[in-house]
Amino acid sequence: MDVVLADNALRVGTALQLTFQRTLRIPNDGQVYPLPPGLGRFPIYRCADYPNAFSAARDKPNQYFIPMYQREALWLGFGSTWPPRAIKVAVGSVNAVSGEVNESGLHEKPQNYVVCPEQLWLDGVNTGPATVRQFVAVPLGEHSSVEAAITHLETIGGIQLEVYAPKIGATLKPPSPPPRLGPARHANIRMGLAAGGQMTQKIYPDPHGVDVWCEQPDTTLGIHILNSEHFRAVTGIAAPPSPIDAQTYTKLGLPWFELYEEHMGDVAAPAPFAGMPSTERRDQ
């Protein structure tokens, strides 16, 4: 199925639109938080436009990348019309819904996919009941990603998506009224994904049953995640600015951590200070 990039969204055929939405990192403190606000779409770029940087993706269809600061988190937005679509979401090589190493096909027990238009968004990995742990970016190689936690390896990174259509002639349950959209999703204000803080979110069971879906996906997509430094190295330009800053966190009552400032430079220490012994050493 054709994939079209327009308005920082991926349109898969005529029935599905995928967006990658900026939001705040909620604290990873054991509490369960409500859904944080959507703060605009991440810009999306085609890997094919930068073939030297993505040589491993040359033979794979529909490869894209987004720049992401560590002060940001991400949620997936699904916009879908009828007929429905089933979508598998993997972070690195791990299925975000079932927690298993991403296997082929759709499975019912445990369910390893979401169904659109019922599922409007996915904010993290399924930790249930009615909770997910937020998608947050971490550098690959530090073994703090979801992929490393489950497989003890970091070989893929990013987000992998598979889209499945219903079989021709399948009996589908009539669409349910969409859930009421609260204000939390509409506030205006080379990496992998880790599991951050917990928030309230349900992943809905498939109302149609796994047997209605085709056995093979009609579309696969790969989303690479680059930090600001890697993005500049690939594209030759600075990563687009983020609308999220320390004031955004303060306004919404969330803590701001030093690691969120990875986009900022650091003035080198002058030579006299760099070699100056600490007071502890001088006192010995």
Neighbouring residues of 154: CB distance < 8 A, sequence distance ≥ 6 = 92, 140, 141, 143, 145, 147, 148, 192
Q: What is the band of 282 on the pLDDT scale with cuts at 50, 70, 90?
A: very low
Paired with 63 in beta bridges are 222
Under DSSP, the state recorded for 147 is H
For the full predicted model, state whether its pTM sits above 0.95: no
**What's the chain's average pLDDT?**
78
Element (H, E) at 279: helix 279-282
Paired residues of 191 in beta bridges: 139, 225
Checking if the pLDDT of 157 tops 80, the result is no
Are the C-beta atoms of residues 16 and 78 closer than 8 Å to each other? Answer: yes
Inter-CA distances, 143 with 13, 68, 91, 131, 149, Å: 36, 18, 14, 24, 7
Q: Which two tokens stand for residue 154?
A: 């970091």
- Would you say residue 100 has pLDDT above 90? no
CA distance 152 to 143: 7
Per residue in 240-270, pLDDT (tens digit) is 888 777 677 677 676 655 444 444 333 333 3
H/E element, 67: strand 63-67
